[in-house]
Amino acid sequence: MLYKKQPVKLKLFFCLFTLFFININAQDYIFGKITSEDKTEIPDVTVINIRTDERVLTNRDGHFMISGRAGDELRFVKPGFERANEKVTKENIASPINVTLIRTAILIAEVEIKKGVTGDIKIDSKNLNPPRKVQKLKSDLGKYMAQKSDPRVLAARPGEFVQPVTKGVFSFGKIKDKWDDVDLMSYIQTALGDKFFEDLKIDKPQIQHFILYIFRTGFERKTILKYGYCSEADLNRFKSAVLNRISSYKTP
């Protein structure tokens, strides 16, 4: 009797373990809406689950749905807006996430306003003829800036690591990539234009997905990401990769 009960217990234990494992690894769906600072819905925002690398786009009303679970981190990327990250909580599983994206600042070129001649000798002499002390200070600064730096100032300290100089790049310490795939994807889409992809029968909402497909199927981009620079030759390589892989992308 004892021998017959043993397999039953093992089967029961195995079933409970399987149910527990499925429950732990179960994926929920996270819903949300993305708006700008003025409460305007933002379409075509790339939503990325950092853990699973799943990517979706918001619809024209700014809504999105992506699989995930509590503890995941979502990233929101849209050209012209600052990148945002959001940690998924248990509350987010039960209710939608509302995210506000901030528009990136646009730098305005500095305009130098020169004072004109007023006709008043006292005022014009101050504006057009700065004091001698100011003139001397500017002259001394000019001479100082023209001098070459002492090589000992730039020399490495004992025990300090110095990155070798290669191909005109001069850097110290640990090298970190200036771009990631999202930065490069945004650059390529802007540089080539949506029409380039639409001529290939790639719908606008699928453009970023298609670019990432080219990346993941062997497009070499380490140097581009490292220095944050995409040359004309790199764009031509990307176009060539597109022509070679467009058929496989469209194949079910």
Residue 141's pLDDT is what? 65
Rounded-to-integer distance, Cα 82 and Cα 102, Å: 6
Tell me which residue has tokens 């790049």: 169
Residue 123 carries which side chain, given as an amino acid letter?
I
Rounded-to-integer distance, Cα 43 and Cα 78, Å: 9
Residue 94's pLDDT is what? 74
Strand-pairing partners, residue 47, are 56, 76
Q: What class does CATH assign to 27-101?
A: mainly beta
Q: Whole-structure pTM over 0.85, yes or no? A: no
Residue 105's pLDDT is what? 76
φ/ψ of 130, rounded to 5, equals -65, 155
Task: With CA atoms as reference, report the closest residue to 76 among 34, 108, 107, 39.
Answer: 34
**What is the torsional sign of CA 76, 220, 177, 194?**
negative
Dihedral (Cα; 92, 42, 78, 67), 10-degree rounding: 30
Query: What is the pairing mode between strands 97-101 and 28-36?
Result: parallel
The DSSP 8-state label assigned to residue 226 in this structure reads: H
Q: CATH 2.60.40.1120 residue ranges in the chain?
A: 27-101
Beta strand spans in the chain (E): 28-36, 46-49, 55-57, 63-68, 73-77, 84-87, 97-101
Dihedral (Cα; 79, 86, 71, 216), 10-degree rounding: 0
Q: In this predicted model, what pLDDT tens digit does every residue of 25-80 receive, in sequence order?
A: 556 789 899 999 999 999 999 999 999 999 999 999 999 999 989 889 999 999 99
Tell the burial category of 55 from Cβ atoms under 10 Å away from its Cβ (0-12, 13-18, 19+).
middle
Which residue ranges of the chain lie beneath pLDDT 50?
Answer: 1-4, 19-24, 153-154, 160-174
